[in-house]
Amino acid sequence: MSSQASIVSLCAALALCQACTLTSQRVAPATLGTPTSVVEMEKLLDEPGPIEASTITSADWEVPLEGLVNLDSPGARAAHLVDRPEPIHIYSHLLRHPRYGSYLIDTGVAQRLADDPGGAGVAWPIRTFMHLEKLRVRTPTAQIVAGIPGGLQGVFFTHLHVDHISGMPEIPSSAALFVGRGESTATSLQNAFVRGTTNRLLEGKADLQEWPFRRDEAQGHLAVGEVLDIFGDGSAFAISVPGHTPGSTAYVVRSTRGAVLYTGDCSHTRWGWEHDVEPGSYTADQPLNRESLLWLRALAARHPQMQVRFGHQD
């Protein structure tokens, strides 16, 4: 084949890949979640609720800071931040509702994925990009699930990046899976590189149930700050915070010890949160991520007793 023909073929392949969705896993409307308003949610946030909530550090990890924090932002420049290896964690958050059972926010890490990432379905380019050689499992997903009385009812995903679904090989196939609207079905060129890995990790698991967040059709993305009452009793809420990914979702839970906000990767780090700096190169749409970040920051400022759990740091 001539070089010109090779270039044409490559361009055609790239054009085709731009229509790639993140996964071929089936998608269905969510069986949980009733639209509500921010005002109605906030009426409840200063009172403890019925959910027992705990955070499990599933693994320790190290990645470049430039992926976690936008080093080109004015705040990062003023602080003279430069790229460096940054210690982070991979979490899973356990929610135990006295009536509706137990759910995880994100999955932690399966031991098999750490021991044999290729065998677990993580493609070589993804293993290299993610620096999986620096991953150290503390509490594997199977151990988390085994310790849940009555079993696991489902998983609430903040988003579907590999590090947030890396426990899926050890999640029961009966567990319901909930994601933000468009998280798995939006198309992009990047999806071509992770689609195979995402499919392998979700293989044999339940359909992805989409939270019914409203889209801002004029802007072409989910409306920032859409709120769903997950169980219909004011104990837990899903909030649309697009930007890091198309369907990124934060959660607010009224625990027995007070309200807890789980930002997901809308804010990877405490530093980014406290300085209003959005994530770096790991984020699909930084301006939109910043809008979502500032929305969550304002929510937390109105409820200073609310605990905040960031995507990858304490």
Instruction: Per residue of the chain (314 residues), give pLDDT as tens.
Output: 444 544 444 444 444 455 699 999 999 999 999 999 999 999 999 999 999 999 999 999 999 999 999 999 999 999 999 999 999 999 999 999 999 999 999 999 999 999 999 998 899 989 998 989 999 999 999 999 999 999 999 999 999 999 999 999 999 999 999 999 999 999 999 899 999 999 999 999 999 999 999 998 888 899 999 999 999 999 999 999 999 999 999 999 999 999 999 999 999 999 999 999 999 999 999 999 999 999 999 999 999 999 999 999 99
Which DSSP category does 200 fall into? Answer: H
**pLDDT (0 to 100) of residue 4:** 54
**pLDDT (0 to 100) of residue 285:** 97
CB-count burial class (<10 Å; 0-12, 13-18, 19+) for 217: exposed
Give Cα 298 distance to the centre of its chain: 20
**pLDDT (0 to 100) of residue 12:** 45
| Strand 85-97 with 101-105, pairing | antiparallel
Buried b or exposed e, range 23-61, using 16+ CB within 10 angstroms: bebebeebebbeebeeeebbebbeeebbbebebbebbeb
Residues 137, 134: Cα–Cα separation, whole Å: 10
Neighbours of 216 (CB within 10 A): 14
DSSP three-state, residue 139? coil
Residues 314, 308: Cα–Cα separation, whole Å: 9
Closest C-alpha to 295, from 239, 257, 248: 239
**pLDDT (0 to 100) of residue 257:** 98
**pLDDT (0 to 100) of residue 6:** 42
Residues 165, 188: Cα–Cα separation, whole Å: 19
All domains in the chain, ordered by first residue: 30-309 (3.60.15.10)
**pLDDT (0 to 100) of residue 136:** 97
Q: How would you classify residue 62: left for phi > 0, otherwise alpha for psi between -120 and 50, otherwise beta?
A: beta
Q: Contact, 9 vs 1, CB < 8 A? A: yes
**pLDDT (0 to 100) of residue 21:** 96
Q: Give the torsion through C-alpha atoms of 186, 187, 188, 190, to 10 deg.
A: 80
Residues 82, 10: Cα–Cα separation, whole Å: 35
Q: Contact, 229 vs 158, CB < 8 A? A: no
Q: Contact, 95 vs 105, CB < 8 A? A: yes
